Amino acid sequence: MTWIWVLIGLIVLAALLYWQLVIAEGSYLGPRVVTLLYDWAASAYERIKQFNPEDEQWYLGLPLAHALDRIPAPFVLDVGTGTGRLPRALLFQPRFHGHVVGLDLSRRMLAHAAHYTRPYADRVTLIWQDARFLPFPDNTFDAVTSLEMLEFTPDPRGVLAEMVRVLRPGGILLVTNRVGREATLLPGRAFSRDRFYALLEELPLENIQVQLWQVDYDLVWARKTGRPMGGGTRPLAEVLRCPECGRVGLTLQERAYRCEECGQEYPVAPDGVVEMARKRAGRWSARPQKPARPEAKEV
Ligand SMILES: C[S@@+](CC[C@H](N)C(=O)[O-])C[C@H]1O[C@@H](n2cnc3c(N)ncnc32)[C@H](O)[C@@H]1O
């Protein structure tokens, strides 16, 4: 009879591992595990996803470019950019003349993003950093997007709030909400349609629209409340916020961004990725940022 219990134990263990590593993609085990899994899968990611270029244009690139039409050179942040799916869809649009910043915590996904976005290299910046601590001051971007990422972070609500914080009043938020059968296996990470809508309503957002998109994901559009102000692309050095001390505005040196306040340097790797989340003494440096310096310091 013992072998039956061993068998049951193995089945339960396999089911648990499948849930944690395949469905939740390590989300309950922390960002390090999620990142490790994406680092491993990076070279196979595009093959697995098989993005259809026409669908990407129709559902992502075209409507986003259209929504940003009034700004001559929009400044866009894509959080959890992976292999650069959203930057590519947007930069392909002839009517889009802006700049896209793609941020991700998997260095290998970013290496692939750098490769795939090479044709637009002068209009894309890739940053290695945790989405929970966006290294930018408030009200910076004309659009903030995030596709298929929220449910893999330990704190989807906090990440949503961060994304809205760096969005300009009047700016566009485009995020996905995980739906479908597997979403029920992601408590605290994925939300029902009503709950997700309610979460967005708690933030300074208006005109929230849910669009059915894929079997597993809705696309959700919204605008940040407040009078639209400014708008347009800005030099990265002006808007980078030092994760160490919170100073806004770093100095671009030959191969690194340097914080004149605390002396911290963030290398620009040969593939162009700005490396803000580095491992120091075996620990991720990505951590809650000190509060931003007073407004006067911001450029
Ligand atoms: C399913 S992929 C989506 C990538 C891309 N947005 C797309 O639609 O193809 C999820 C991405 O989120 C990134 N990610 C997960 N947790 C993150 C975090 N805390 N900060 C930044 N990126 C994160 C992963 O590294 C991965 O590249």
Q: Ligand 1: list residues with CB < 6 Å.
A: 31, 34-35, 38, 80-82, 85, 104-106, 109, 130-132, 147-149, 152-153
Q: How far apart are CA 227 and CA 128, in angstroms?
A: 32
pLDDT computed for residue 1 by the predictor: 74
* pLDDT(286) > 70: no
Residue type, 40: W
The rounded Å distance from CA 102 to ligand 1 centre is 10
pLDDT tens digits, 24-57: 888 898 999 999 999 999 999 999 999 999 999 9
The residues pairing with 211 across neighbouring beta strands, listed in sequence order, are 219
* pLDDT(297) > 70: no
pLDDT tens digits, 70-115: 999 999 999 999 999 999 999 999 999 999 999 999 999 999 999 9
pLDDT computed for residue 98 by the predictor: 98
Single pTM value for the model: 0.92
**Helices (H), ranges, 122-220:** 156-165, 193-201
State the number of CA atoms in the 13 A half-sphere of 277 facing the CB: 24
pLDDT tens digits, 151-167: 999 999 999 999 999 99
* Reported confidence tier of residue 18, pLDDT bands at 50, 70, 90: confident
Q: How far apart are CA 257 and CA 264, in angstroms?
A: 8
User: Which ligand 1 atom sits closest to the C-alpha of 35?
Assistant: 25
Ramachandran category for residue 148: left, alpha or beta (phi over 0 → left; psi -120 to 50 → alpha): left
* pLDDT(288) > 70: no
